[in-house]
Chains A and B, each alone.
Chain A
Amino acid sequence: MSALDELYQQVIIEHNRKPRNFRVIENATYAAEGFNPICGDHFHIYIVVGDDGCIEDVAFDGKGCAISKASASMMTQALIGKSETEARQLLAEFNSLAKGDLDPDKDDNALGKLTVFSGIWKFPARVKCAVLAWHAATSALDEVDIVSTE
């Protein structure tokens, strides 16, 4: 696979073209924004946690490049149905993957389809694009007081 094909795999192109869960959730349990002042990428992340403590719904909206948008889109799919603990674990795993610290073939992980980003560390300038939504989701989960809407 050429470096370019590795960066822009079909699934990334496809998620960029048709991002999943690309909408606003008005009464989200958690919400946060991710902003990259260098490139202007700007997303809002919304997370709804159900009574059973599992994530019921995740959505995002905003503007960004193909990498950041596809990554955000795939993240929303991956987080739905997870407990907060599982979600945090996945967020950490994706971060490690993007930095090249986690080898999906050798290290235990629950990344599944997200391993499509396993080559992103070879493009240092684009790592921040891939992790933008994930950082926003992490800070959303961390800032319990701010956007909890009961």
Chain B
Amino acid sequence: MNRVSFDVDRIRTDFPAATRTVHDGRRLVYLDNAATTLKPRVVVDAMAEHMLLGASNVHRGLHYLSERATEAYEAARDSVRDFIHAAAREEIVFTNGTTAAINLVAHSFGAQLNEGDEIVVSQMEHHSNIVPWQILCERRGCVLRVAPIDRNGELIMEAYRDMLSDRTRLVSMVYVSNSLGTVNPMEEVISGAHAVGAKVLVDAAQAVATRAIDVQALDCDFLAFSAHKLFGPTGVGVLYGKQEHLEAMPPFLGGGDMIASVRFEKTEYNRVPYKFEAGTGNIGGVIALKPAIDYVSAIGFEAIQAHEQDLLTYATDVLRGHEGLRLIGTAREKAAIVSFLVGDVHAHDVGSILDQEGVAIRAGHHCTQPVMEFFDVPATARASFSIYNTREDVDALSLSVGKVKELFE
């Protein structure tokens, strides 16, 4: 196997939480990476350094600290630009998360939509890629259409294509499903939408830590992700938008930093991306996104994918070996996310029992209630893997699943 450069033991030492114990001495087996990833020391150090030694606002002061903070903040923007291969740094807008980024598009791009215009999402969207569009539809009289999935949790491409028409203005779709692990064929989704003149927003929240993203190769119009699922801090997100779209869109939040001049008669807005960055954001968090990006880039996605796919295959096999265990989400192409049910035991009971064994998973509807409804389950248990996880972690998961069965049989 081509994993020469991938040293999981060394990676584990970079993440203090990965080697901690829980519940009085149990080894932590952290399998809730789809909710948020652990943070490497370099990220926390960068944040702390800003707070302790910098702590200045950006784009404002003329003094030394403010200039250093602005430099670091803008260096993070360049880093994001390189990371997702955007054509220009003006296309990178910092938000406070994926949800905020989607809401920004819903509000500002949405302001250009009219009654009867259609927005297409898939049935596997996170609530954050459903509700903003429902709000928009209510406000502007647009129509939300939902591309269905099949029993494996794959997008039904034929149905999706049939849904597209000259009324479609925007397709907003998840790249990697957080509850099913499904990797959607984004190139096809995007080219299909473009063929009818619709724009595409890619929800890359789950995708960003699992695969290299090239927004120019994808040719997406917008792409959103959060730093905290990429080993960075919470409260920081990125909206990528093609410059022409961002230029044409009205601002979202009004306030400081997003203006060129303010007079009561007329206010001139700042240029992009600053037009969309009103108020003081999470400066330390943005600054700390750069070392997070540097960290994953140094490992490289080829190695990361090989490692995570190995864990996915192993976990799928091991869990399938448990009688009565049902996997939810069996798409052909998946990220290392495994949703499952243990017999008729409620997912919350599974979660509590695993937690006592030191195994941290998510149990619930994962903010994808339509997916739960489709599979006719109230909730699932979900194990999601990352770069610091090992086959031992999968074994620990399997052992604790055995415990669930033992307790409930």
A interface vs B, CB < 8 Å?
A: 2-4, 7-8, 13, 16, 38-42, 63-67, 123, 125-126, 129
Contact = CB atoms under 8 A, between A and B. Distances in A.
Interface string B330-350: 000000000000000111110
Interface of B: 23, 345-349, 352-353, 356, 363-365, 372, 378-379, 403, 407-408
A11 to B, nearest CB: 13
A3 B23 contact: yes
Given A13-B408, A65-B346, A39 B378 contact: yes
A38 B364 contact: yes
A66 B364 contact: no
B352 A125 contact: yes
A8 B351 CA distance: 13
A11 B378 CA distance: 24
A78 to B, nearest CB: 22
Contacts of B407: 4, 8, 13
B348 A65 contact: yes
A6 B364 CA distance: 23
B376 to A, nearest CB: 11
Given A66-B346, A125-B352, A126-B352, A40 B379 contact: yes
A59 to B, nearest CB: 20
A67 B349 contact: yes
11 contacts: A2-B356, A4-B353, A7-B356, A8-B407, A40-B372, A42-B378, A64-B346, A65-B348, A66-B345, A125-B348, A126-B348
Which of B345, B347, B348, B353 gathers most chain A CB within 10 Å?
Answer: B348
A39 B381 CA distance: 11
A7 B407 CA distance: 11
A40 B353 contact: no
Given A39-B347, A64-B346, A126-B352, 5 more contacts: A4-B403, A8-B407, A40-B372, A41-B378, A65-B348
Contacts of A3: 23, 356
B348 A39 contact: yes
A40 B378 contact: yes
Contact of A123 (B347, B352, B364, B365): B352
Given A2-B356, A126-B348, A66 B408 contact: yes
